[in-house]
Amino acid sequence: MITFVLGGSGSGKSEFAERLAREAPGKIIYLATADAADAEMASRIALHKSRRPASWDTWEGGVETLPRAARKLAGDYDLLLIDSLTTYISALFVSSRASEDDDETAWAEPAEKILKGVSEIFTGFAETVRDTPKRLIVVSDEVGCGVVPAYRMGRRFRDIQGRANQTAAALSDEAVLVAAGIPLWLKTGIIETESGCA
């Protein structure tokens, strides 16, 4: 079972994903993709860490190894929670970036590399845990509902993130949009609990 949790900044998507994970049985690992590059991000990471149960394990490897890690860890844990797909994509985006003046064709190859990585996370997990009750929850940002970025780099990132979200949703068993802390189920699984999640 793969659950894709989507939402805007400050929507409550991470808290919702964590709640789903806390309700699940078995061993849980949190795959953290953010890098504490500045004080603001370090503060956000600290907040996320403070909410996690002490019983959860944490993976903080490099983003390039995330698809491989998701496949490997699926053998050792009952539930994997990746937070977030956006910071994973952002790191790949920055490492692949061309100059601000490059035309759109210069971004075709980096975009495909990013989308391939996203697909590998989902398909690799699914292939590894086929016919088992294991679960993957992936958190991502909805970037298509805000102001159009003023800079070309921002618009490129928004478009790649949007395509990656479409890929992730298509490969998931469930997809939920969190708005103002309220889950709006876009694609549902087979079994529902009191919280509305499988």
Burial annotation 78-112 (CB, 10 A radius, 16+ → b, else e): bbbbbbbbbbbbbbbbeeeeeeeeeeeeebeebbe
Catalytic residue among 27, 48, 97, 152: 48
Q: What would the two tokens of residue 191 be?
A: 């079994």
Residue 48 known to be catalytic:
yes
List the catalytic residues: 48
